[in-house]
Amino acid sequence: MGRKDLVSLITPRVGEGPLEHSDEWTFVSERRKTLYNVGEEIGQDELKKLKALLTVELRVGKRTMDTVKDVWDCLDIMEERLLDSELFPFLKTVYTTDERLLEIIDDFAKGSASAGATGGQSIEETRAQEVAEHVHQRTNLDTENETTSQLQSQLSAYEIGKQAGICIIINNEIFFDRNKHPPRCGTDVDGDSLRELFTMFGYEIGLHENKTCLEIRHLLDEVRKKDHKDNGALVVCILSHGDFNTVTGACSTDLVIDEIMIPFRADCCPSLSGKPKLFILQICQGQKTQRIVFHPTDAVKAEGDYNLTQDKAEVTDSPTLHRGPFLAEADFLIAFATMRGYASYRNGNGSFFIQSLVDLLRKRSPSEDVVSILVEVTHDVSQKIGKTEEGQYVAQIPESIIRLTKKFFLHPMNSKV
């Protein structure tokens, strides 16, 4: 660049004036050049994964992570906290599928990392070019960060907590009125799958089967009364029959969904204020069937979770889930198995929704947040086609209500990078 004064400002030598041209430039170490080349190969997807792993593996606090805006910030943190013997193996395990990154790191480990000169370019010219490009890149990043800092501050993650939290699973298979609500074949598979999944994520599990509406209210009230100050989140899973805005108890009467949510609002359960509350509802929300424009040949057996009689809950144009002060209703994520007004399906292998949800949460966490994973679940479930005993082809589309104010990640216990 011809700006030797700029080089001297970046890396001044003790006791010397501005850096002059010499045959022994040492101001850029092989370690720093390797990290720079690694950073150049990292895109947005890898950056998201790296940030999540910094939180899990290095236990980087929320205050520090809120200042992380790009890959260079991540590498700075890693460089401060890890020795070379730890840093570069860490990077290799994070990016196992990137051959270019692995080659760069291996070269450094073997002591043969190069400055990246090509053709007849001299080492001195290459080093000066690297510094100039890095300064230019950082300048551009600073400009971009000024325009995106507000957005990024809204996309920070919820704190993990000293403990993962509590996971309540209410699994109703047998009902008092079997004519109106037949047994839910396969729901035991769903219950076990959810129990194993959230045990893997470190949650304290409570699995409760065939509970009446009164018992459900009492159970949730007991959870509300607990001190959640050390918990990161709350998870409530309900597997049952249902209809529009209602869940069916083992007593064959209905419980309005609002009654499940309200006990955990910030004004009712202060120790859960500002913490994510995930509700997973494997229920029908009506009796309508999703329209299928073709008849597939690989459909699986399917049974609905709707009320089989024609008696329907009263339908209103304005669902009651959004009542109350906004802040009291914040930090909820409600994942329905199907859209309002429509049926959801299962068979002896479990329900379409729960089995897809469990599979993808297990595979994608913690590199993706729960909301992003739910989008993948929606796609996966939409591809499943069932066939009832009457020969009707059926399908469903899950639906979520998102009131989270930050990103919500699930972290496996003792997870390895």
What pLDDT is stored for residue 129 in this prediction? 52
The reply to whether 9 and 126 lie within a common domain is yes
What pLDDT is stored for residue 48 in this prediction? 79
Q: What angle do CA 227, 411, 372 make, to 5 degrees?
A: 105
Cis peptide before 366 (omega within 30 of 0): yes
Average pLDDT over residues 82-86: 73
State the CATH number of the domain containing residue 280.
3.40.50.1460
pLDDT band at 193 (very low <50, low <70, confident <90, very high): very high
Average pLDDT over residues 200-225: 97
Separation of first and last alpha carbons in the chain: 41
pLDDT over 90 at 73, yes or no: no
pLDDT tens profile 152-174: 445 689 999 999 999 999 999 99
The reply to whether 167 and 139 lie within a common domain is no
What pLDDT is stored for residue 398 in this prediction? 95
Which residue did the predictor score with more confidence, 342 or 94? 342
Residue 411 lies in a domain: no
The reply to whether 103 and 209 lie within a common domain is no
The reply to whether 264 and 379 lie within a common domain is yes
pLDDT tens profile 348-407: 899 999 999 999 999 999 999 999 999 999 999 988 888 888 888 888 999 999 999 999
Average pLDDT over residues 119-132: 46
The token duo for 353 is 């929704």
List CB contacts of 177: < 8 A, sequence separation 6 or more. Answer: 252
Residue 76 lies in a domain: yes
Asked about 181 being catalytic, the answer comes back as no
Q: Of 134, 154, 174, at which residue does a domain stop?
A: 154
Above pLDDT 90, what percent of the chain?
A: 44
pLDDT band at 222 (very low <50, low <70, confident <90, very high): very high
Q: Of 154, 187, 208, at which residue does a domain stop?
A: 154
Residue 414 lies in a domain: no
Which residue did the predictor score with more confidence, 110 or 192? 192
What pLDDT is stored for residue 133 in this prediction? 52
If one counts the domains in the chain, the total is: 2
- Determine the structural domain holding residue 119 and report its residue range: 4-154
The reply to whether 30 and 71 lie within a common domain is yes
Rounded to the nearest integer, the mean pLDDT of the chain is 78
pLDDT band at 324 (very low <50, low <70, confident <90, very high): very low
Phi, psi (rounded to 5 degrees) for 20? -100, 165
Which residue did the predictor score with more confidence, 182 or 70? 182
pLDDT tens profile 91-124: 767 766 667 777 777 777 666 434 343 344 444 4
Interatomic CA distance for residues 75 and 132, integer angstroms: 19
Interatomic CA distance for residues 224 and 79, integer angstroms: 43
The reply to whether 250 and 370 lie within a common domain is yes
Residue 417 lies in a domain: no
Residue 209 pairs in a beta bridge with: 171
Overall pTM > 0.75: no
pLDDT tens profile 25-59: 445 667 777 778 777 777 777 787 778 878 877 77
The token duo for 287 is 């009796």
Give the active site residue among 167, 213, 284, 411.
284
Q: Of 137, 154, 171, at which residue does a domain stop?
A: 154
Average pLDDT over residues 60-84: 82
What pLDDT is stored for residue 115 in this prediction? 38
What pLDDT is stored for residue 131 in this prediction? 46
The reply to whether 257 and 124 lie within a common domain is no
The reply to whether 47 and 89 lie within a common domain is yes
Whose structure tokens read 């000066």? Answer: 128
| Whether 365 contacts 373, CB under 8 Å | yes
Which residue did the predictor score with more confidence, 227 or 90? 227
The reply to whether 67 and 182 lie within a common domain is no
What does the DSSP 8-state code read for residue 266? T
What pLDDT is stored for residue 286 in this prediction? 83
What pLDDT is stored for residue 320 in this prediction? 40
pLDDT over 80 at 318, yes or no: no
pLDDT band at 206 (very low <50, low <70, confident <90, very high): very high
pLDDT band at 317 (very low <50, low <70, confident <90, very high): very low
What pLDDT is stored for residue 55 in this prediction? 80
Which residue, 52, 30, 50, is CA-closest to 41? 50
Highest mean pLDDT among 67-71, 95-99, 195-199: 195-199
The reply to whether 305 and 175 lie within a common domain is yes
The reply to whether 261 and 345 lie within a common domain is yes
Residue 113 lies in a domain: yes
Asked about 185 being catalytic, the answer comes back as no
Give the active site residue among 228, 241, 251, 411.
241
Average pLDDT over residues 312-335: 56
The reply to whether 50 and 168 lie within a common domain is no
Interatomic CA distance for residues 273 and 266, integer angstroms: 5
Q: Of the ranges 7-16, 203-212, 223-232, 388-397, which one carries the lowest mean pLDDT score?
A: 7-16
Residue 412 lies in a domain: no
Average pLDDT over residues 218-236: 97
What pLDDT is stored for residue 57 in this prediction? 73
Q: What angle do CA 313, 306, 180 make, to 5 degrees?
A: 80
pLDDT over 60 at 257, yes or no: yes
Residue 257 lies in a domain: yes
pLDDT tens profile 260-311: 999 999 999 999 999 999 999 999 988 777 666 554 555 555 555 543 333 3
Residue 254 lies in a domain: yes
